[in-house]
Amino acid sequence: MTEQEGIEQEGQRLGIVVSGSLDKGMEARLDSSVSIEDMAVGRYVTIEGEKRRFFGMITNISLGVIDQKLTLTPPDTSDSFTSEVLAGTGTYGTLRIAPYLTIGSDALGLLEGPQPAKTIPKHFSVVKAASQRDVELVFGSEDEKKFYIGTPLDMETKVCLNLEELVKRSSGIFGKSGTGKTFLTRMLLIGMLQKGTAANLVFDMHSEYGWEARSEEGRKVKALKQLFPSKVAVFTLDEESSRRRKVSTDFVVRIGYGEIEPEDISLLRQTLNLTEPAVEAVYQLQRRFGKDWLKHTLDLADSDETRDLLKDLSIHESTYQNLRRGLATIGRLQFLEPQVGDNPVKRILEYLDRGINVVLEFGRYTDITAYILVANLLTRRIHAQYRERMEKAIGEDAAPPQPLVITIEEAHKFLNPELASQTIFGTIAREMRKYNVTLLIIDQRPSGIDSEVMSQIGTKITCLLDNDRDIDSVLAGVSNKNELKSVLAKLQSKQQALIFGHAVPMPVVVRTREYGSVQSYKEFATTEAAELEKQVEKDIEELWQ
């Protein structure tokens, strides 16, 4: 057994508490026998109080000296004996510990489970490394509600998210580009599929969640449809792209001109470079032409009749030209058609009602204009249906609809301070779970998201961020913000994340679960039919050539 394994399993003594407070954390002095280099920010410790045990996280590590003269005239430490003597008499290491929970030290405490820490341990309480059993007691084990997301730093114990709590409020995955947000999102979606805690509608901007995609290393990785073929439907805006990628799609989405409303154009003001008068002109044209305003506007010719119309509507020529340029961009989107036979909202709801999750791939339409237009348009109508169903269930004292989680990427484009009050996504975030609809937002620029929306996000999973504004935005309103900021800054660039909020009992830094190996596919797809495992075996050669 290695020294590290011994620390984890036995809860080795590290030192004693010498000072601290509940809001700023406890300061502990390391024993001279403990190497400060074995300590790490984000690791867990327990403090043996007089009446209870405290469970906390190391948030900072520092060095101290008893006599300041040692820093002015450092001794010669080339002799190992001198170093050992100083370590026990003149120098020491300290840990800053944030105490989050009290865990049972008696039968009653074990029965009640971990509780938020509302007091602090006394002076000279013993600090120990958290054992595997301590971590299991705090985070629980995987069951019908909890999903294994990763392991703590330097430990192999499973950290589980409570998915039932996760879907009660909107959640977010943040991190700079290349830190693994896509893999984390896949894992969360897989967890919800496994446990059946919610139906999912995923607006898949880069075609990464429905069918197989490639990792940054260029290796193919399976996505939701391949792991859960009977529980996932792939919709597409770009049938040609899906066919080239040999993706088996369930429905091709087409949107009629008549479905686009002035509110949809208002949200695209920035991306289409529209002026305020141009946006106002949309409402005037809609009042004149009704539901078919977009087709009529695109069909207007440069004629005296058009000029008379603009004069009648008090629309300036330059405003009209600005609007025409913007609407021409929308008119070039090939999934928009004058008349559509099949209603995509109706189809999506049919699949969701049957317990089948929907991933909408955008194919070649990765421009933010198309993404905002489609995601907002479909979500607004689906949310209206859920509102009606929820109100009907309340009125008739019937079962409410299954919770729905809507996943969007580039969230700051929908939820920035200027647009958050206008988009349906801002409405959903503020409603929390009023109509059983919540969001899973993915973004690399959380500082661009409205602060009110960020405050309503119940669970945040944060990979490495290197911008102070982004870090402050993610941690806004969180207790022990400064301590968590130092933890977040020390994350590795890949496969590590800080998780805090409703789905976990306390903040936790995890080394995220493996994704992409044959073994991981078998573990993720435990609820699918036996033939899936046979298919996984067939794919071994293809995946690992």
Task: Evaluate if residue 86 carries a pLDDT over 70.
Answer: no
Query: What pLDDT sits at residue 2?
Result: 47
CATH of the domain at 427: 3.40.50.300
Judged on CB neighbours under 10 Å (0-12, 13-18, 19+), 36 is middle
The pair of three-digit structure tokens given for residue 437, joined into one six-digit string: 């609809």
Cα separation, 96 vs 19, whole angstroms: 10
Query: What pLDDT sits at residue 534?
Result: 54
Domain count across the chain: 3
Cβ 141 vs Cβ 157: under 8 Å = no
Same-domain check for residues 368 and 464: yes
Same-domain check for residues 435 and 479: yes
Question: Measuring CA to CA, which residue among 110, 109, 100, 122 is closest to residue 48?
Answer: 122
Same-domain check for residues 192 and 129: no
Query: 88 in a domain, yes or no?
Result: yes
Confidence of residue 7 (pLDDT cuts 50, 70, 90): very low
Same-domain check for residues 13 and 99: yes
Cα separation, 46 vs 133, whole angstroms: 12
Same-domain check for residues 375 and 420: yes
Confidence of residue 10 (pLDDT cuts 50, 70, 90): low
Cα separation, 260 vs 80, whole angstroms: 76
Which residue is listed with tokens 């967890």?
Answer: 191
Cα separation, 25 vs 21, whole angstroms: 5
Same-domain check for residues 267 and 224: no
Higher pLDDT, 425 or 87: 425
Query: 75 in a domain, yes or no?
Result: yes
**Considering only 24-33, 202-211, 441-450, 480-489, which range has the smallest mean pLDDT?**
480-489
Is residue 225 helix, strand or coil?
helix
Is residue 447 helix, strand or coil?
helix
Confidence of residue 396 (pLDDT cuts 50, 70, 90): confident
Average pLDDT over residues 100-126: 78
Average pLDDT over residues 281-304: 90
Over the stretch 244-281, which tens digit does the pLDDT of each residue have?
A: 888 889 999 999 998 999 988 988 888 899 999 999 99
The per-residue pLDDT of the chain, averaged, comes to 86
Cα separation, 406 vs 375, whole angstroms: 10
Task: Evaluate if residue 111 carries a pLDDT over 80.
Answer: no
Interior/surface letters 197-213, b for 16+ CB within 10 angstroms, e for the rest: bbbbbbbbbebbbbbbb
Distance of CA 164 to the CA centre of its chain: 15
Task: Evaluate if residue 537 carries a pLDDT over 80.
Answer: no
What share of the chain has pLDDT > 70, as a percent? Answer: 89
Consecutive H or E run containing 496: strand 496-501
* Boundaries of domain holding 285: 260-329
Confidence of residue 217 (pLDDT cuts 50, 70, 90): low
Q: What is the DSSP letter of 399?
A: P
Same-domain check for residues 409 and 500: yes
Q: How many angstroms separate the Cα of 338 from the Cα of each of 65, 279, 377, 411?
A: 77, 21, 16, 29
Cβ-Cβ contacts under 8 Å for 366 (sequence gap 6 or more): 205, 206
Higher pLDDT, 347 or 431: 347
Question: Measuring CA to CA, which residue among 280, 187, 153, 46 is closest to residue 516?
Answer: 187
Task: Evaluate if residue 4 carries a pLDDT over 50.
Answer: no
Sign (positive or negative) of CA dihedral 133, 138, 144, 150: negative
Query: 456 in a domain, yes or no?
Result: yes
Sign (positive or negative) of CA dihedral 463, 464, 470, 473: positive
Same-domain check for residues 38 and 123: yes
Over the stretch 418-434, which tens digit does the pLDDT of each residue have?
A: 888 888 999 999 887 88
The pair of three-digit structure tokens given for residue 86, joined into one six-digit string: 């100083």
Query: 246 in a domain, yes or no?
Result: no
Instruction: Sort strands 508-512 and 146-152 into parallel, antiparallel or unpaired.
Output: antiparallel
Query: 537 in a domain, yes or no?
Result: no
Query: What pLDDT sits at residue 545?
Result: 44
The last residue of a domain, from among 105, 139, 173: 139
Instruction: Return the number of other C-beta atoms located less than 10 Å from residue 483's C-beta.
Output: 23
Query: 17 in a domain, yes or no?
Result: yes
Average pLDDT over residues 364-381: 92
Query: 84 in a domain, yes or no?
Result: yes
Same-domain check for residues 282 and 198: no
Query: 536 in a domain, yes or no?
Result: no
**Considering only 4-18, 256-270, 280-294, 450-464, which range has the smallest mean pLDDT?**
4-18
Question: Measuring CA to CA, which residue among 96, 117, 100 is closest to residue 19?
Answer: 96
Query: What pLDDT sits at residue 463?
Result: 94
Average pLDDT over residues 305-331: 91
Confidence of residue 538 (pLDDT cuts 50, 70, 90): low
Cα separation, 528 vs 142, whole angstroms: 18
What share of the chain has pLDDT > 90, as a percent? Answer: 52
The last residue of a domain, from among 139, 171, 188: 139
Average pLDDT over residues 512-517: 84
Cβ 276 vs Cβ 309: under 8 Å = no
Same-domain check for residues 307 and 189: no
Judged on CB neighbours under 10 Å (0-12, 13-18, 19+), 296 is middle
Whole-angstrom Cα Rg for the chain: 28
Cβ-Cβ contacts under 8 Å for 66 (sequence gap 6 or more): 89, 90, 91, 92
Is residue 545 helix, strand or coil?
coil
The last residue of a domain, from among 139, 170, 197: 139
Question: Measuring CA to CA, which residue among 84, 137, 80 is closest to residue 110?
Answer: 137
Over the stretch 24-58, which tens digit does the pLDDT of each residue have?
A: 899 999 998 898 889 988 899 999 998 889 999 99
Cβ 47 vs Cβ 26: under 8 Å = yes
Over the stretch 288-297, which tens digit does the pLDDT of each residue have?
A: 999 889 989 9
Higher pLDDT, 182 or 107: 182
Over the stretch 190-202, which tens digit does the pLDDT of each residue have?
A: 999 999 999 999 9
Is residue 54 helix, strand or coil?
strand
Task: Evaluate if residue 355 carries a pLDDT over 50.
Answer: yes
Using left for φ > 0, alpha for ψ between -120 and 50, and beta otherwise, residue 243 falls in: alpha
Cα separation, 251 vs 371, whole angstroms: 18
Same-domain check for residues 122 and 13: yes
Cα separation, 153 vs 252, whole angstroms: 44
The pTM is what? 0.86
Q: What is the DSSP letter of 510?
A: E
Same-domain check for residues 193 and 302: no
Query: What pLDDT sits at residue 66?
Result: 83
